[in-house]
Amino acid sequence: MLSWMSRWRFITFCLGLMALPAALVWHLTYLQVVPGQEKGREFLQAQGLARTLREQNINAYRGTITDRHGELLAVSTPVISLAVNPQVISPEGIQKLAKGLGLSRKALNEKLQRYARKQFMYVARQLPPHEAEPIVKQSIPGVIAEREYQRYYPAGEVAAHLVGFTNIDDAGQEGMELALDNHLAGTPGVKRVIKDLKGNIVKDLGIVKTASPGGDAQLSIDLRLQYLAYRELKAAISQQKAKSGSVVMLDVETGEVLAMVNQPSYNPNDRARIRPAQTRNRAMTDVIEPGSTVKPFTVMAALETGRYTPDSVINTSPGYVKVGRKTFVDPRNYGEIDLGTVIQKSSQVGISKLALDLPPNVVREMFARLGFGQSTGTGFPGESLGILPSRRKWHPIETATLAFGYGLTVTPLQLAQSYVTIANSGISRPVSLLKQDEPPLTETVVDADIADQIAVMLKRVTERGGTATRAQTSAYLTAGKTGTAHKVGKNGYADDRYIATFAGIAPANDPKVVTVVVINEPNSGRYYGGEAAAPVFARVTDASLRLLNIPPNNSQQVATR
């Protein structure tokens, strides 16, 4: 009996052992062959692919930025970024990677340990291909190479404030890079790949979505004039020990910005050293009280009323005028002078008496028509509107100070745009930072005869006896107006801090360009607009017109002082 039972148990045991492989084969067949089963073939295949099949972005090429003649201002170059999966890379891989990057193995290992729970971390961004390729060729497990693009700015600090820069991920941060980011950026593509457990690409399965490169942008500036203006402004700021400065040059016929420079500047190719305060495009974001540069517009408002003509006489004796509790003084008693002489001598007494004799709001409305207190429409990030006050009732002191450029603020670009209207015989043109292929829209804001009369008066400012003889050049006749404004301090207007400004037109008899120069806090002892800003205008304008092939028209010997 015992013998029979032992034999039966042995047979049962053997049959059981034989059945296990058969059951295993059946279960595998059931899962992998029989379709439609829960957690069967489709499920397992999907799970397997989910762990190996990946979609990877294809970075899009960012469009270029050029000047009006096609000279490169911003271009993207291919680079390689190296990343690591801390959970996969081995000690030997860390040693190879550290050696290839010229890093300390200890420092790299410590960094990897801090991100030990992550599966992806960058160890080097935007390496030149010749530096990254030797590491990539080693095929270190856990090291991932990504092909990207790095932005490069050939003009460097010369065009930095206008062009701006991108961040390390190639997104616009400042300037036109930010303003046109959607146009320049393009659309990233997608490709499908199979990766192994170590994160390495085993097979490229093809493109899912093709990357679309960004569009190009052609700015209105002429890089030749940009370099010229930058050189002259930088030299002037250094010589005058000034705090900052700006130069803006506009094309009279189109309203395009031909040059726009600021000091101090920065190098957009060295992002590590960029400070926020350096990135301001002062010509568009900073506002100033324009001072006497707006006196021609006050005279223009007076002529428009019909109560005055260019020959009208203002009695400035005895050389000062009291308005409320404030007394405005001229350098000397000019006596009875016509309106042209008021502008030529920049008479505070004359312009105050003129403004106080005009109906309320007349001067303010003229300023508004010229674009003060409004956007220039460029779309530039951070552009200031300035301040143009509006009052239900104007006190005499407010009327007088507004007439000679206090109590309102403008940007250098707004001031340049207002002078384009004079140069265009009363026709206003929109400002553009982009090259225009079509004729610009125009609007007549001042009668042509009145605007031309003001233009004639502005010529006298740069001639003998005017406040800006240093703005005259040997080759071209110029016209314009000086401005010297006290800066606001803790206790009101400071007696020892000034903004020197000159707004000019050239050539005076056939205007091609308008240029505004602003010197902030000159400390060389010469702080008047005619001393600090006008010479910069002369040097920039003379050389620029030559580069633009404008024939010289000044056969006179102009006295300088």
Token pair, residue 273, equals 């050293």
Question: Which one of the listed residues 76, 292, 352, 418 is annotated catalytic?
Answer: 292
Radius of gyration of the chain (CA): 36
**SS3 category, 221:** coil
**SS3 category, 415:** helix
**How close are the terminal C-alpha atoms of the chain, in Å?**
138
Token pair, residue 120, equals 């992806």
Tokens 């457990």 belong to which residue? 197
Give the Å distances, CA to CA, from 225 to 411, 437, 530: 21, 20, 22
Asked if residues 277 and 308 have their Cβ atoms less than 8 Å apart, the reply is no
Return the bridge partners of 72, or none.
66
d(CA 147, CA 293): 53
Per-residue burial over 33-56, b = 16 or more CB atoms within 10 Å of its CB, e = otherwise: eeeeeeeeeeeeeeeeeeeeeeee
Whether 3 is catalytic is no
Asked if residues 426 and 445 have their Cβ atoms less than 8 Å apart, the reply is yes
Token pair, residue 9, equals 């148990």
Q: Is 180 left (phi over 0), alpha (psi -120 to 50) or beta?
A: alpha
Q: Is the bond preceding residue 264 a cis peptide, omega within 30 degrees?
A: yes
Amino acid letter, residue 270: D
Q: Point out the residues that are catalytic.
A: 292
